[in-house]
Chain A
Amino acid sequence: MSSYYEASARERLHALFDRGSFHEFLPPSERVVSPHLVQLDTPAAFDDGVIVGRATLDGRPVLVAAQEGGFMGGAVGEVHGAKLVGLLERARDEKPAAVLLLVESGGVRLHEANAGLIGVSEIMRAVLALRSEGVPVVVLDGGQFGCFGGMGIVARLCDAIVMSEEGRLGLSGPEVIETTCGVEEFDSRDRALVWRTVGGKHRYLLGEADAIVADDISAFRAAAIHLLDTKPDLSLEALTAEHERLGARIEKFGALRDALDIWSALGVEKPENLPLLEADAFRAAVDGKRA
């Protein structure tokens, strides 16, 4: 068993896809670095915190990207964003079996504010354009920095999300909420609160994550293979149904104050025990009870 959470973005790519199949586009030796960070006298990374390339997964061709949370929290700068957009546009030409995004990002890189914001919007548009042409985009989220801000939106624009309990997904991250709304509203140092609010188990129960797996690269691999045949559906009927589902969700749970209350309302017995369960036992405990 090899921890997805502990691995670097490069280690994840090499361990998750078929052995030796990964080929990187714009590798570090090309030195396509951020033009902004140098001006700010800040160290840049040779890959600008994202690795893009092609690989095979269970023998099938895929295009892949992995964000490195260790570099500026995986935040999207101009080059970082352009690499992701380029990968998604390439997929429109090549029509691989799927595009896999190994996300780990706090969102826009504030050092490159406008360029980063534009980058994120271009990623969103590219994801939707690719899906509309029938290529599924699958997100894997189990890194130390989670997936927040603009990348949180990107993740939810994709076809499917695989999470571990350790993975986190949201718009404003816990520290941002605490800073803007006060510690009474959200204590970002309360780890149990953070994980039961933005962690994989809650996202799976709410129906936002499609699969929940153990913190193990091979478990992520198996879940990704299982999702390769996802058929993107951007039809008006599908979007209307999703909006109705979300509307019903806020009606049902909008007044509740804590994830535990939601789990209770979903009919989960002993919701306080859920955070202690391993992935398999958790799936069994919540079977048929997801929102």
Chain B
Amino acid sequence: MTNVDDRPGGPGRGGYPAEKSEPRETIEELKARIPGWGADLDPADRPAFPREQSLESGAHWDIPDLQPELVPRERSIEHKFLPPVFGTAQPLKGLSGMIRAYAYDRFSEGRVAHWMLLVLGDRVDVVESRFTALAQLKPDNIITETGILAEFKRDGIGSRFGRNRTDTKHMWLDPVIVAGPTVLLGWVAFRVIRRLAKG
């Protein structure tokens, strides 16, 4: 049985007082040590407060002009309409585009299915893009795109080991966690297709 004075968390008995702990440094010491200590001391005089306030933004419109919708633009079904301005980078395409369009058309942002379909679309997009890049004679290069050469140029070993980093403890597991589900899914798909082919 643990001695009462050897209890985890500290020994003995006591009660918590009403007062705050004694400050470790006086205001004068803090001011001497920290540049600008207390410059924003007044909570009412901080730029984030009050959170909601009318500020001059530079806008000279009530409703912004509408950016032309040159190709149909997907949008959350929680929107009343397509907002006036939007990004036009990487429009929907291919199977990934169909998956993403379905996620936007069918499920609100409140549904996990919406986000999981978008994650699926992302993974399909990567596979599609590998083939597209090959067809365009701009194949992906795993060496240059992963930036793995930085391991040699930026002291990969010295940066990781002997430095008490917690991520090095599960580094060996990371490829298994990241690639494992994909490999497993591929293997299952392979087995299913082979079984179907055999009739």
- Asked if A and B bind, the verdict is no
Interface residues of B (CB under 8 A from A): none
Interface residues of A (CB under 8 A from B): none
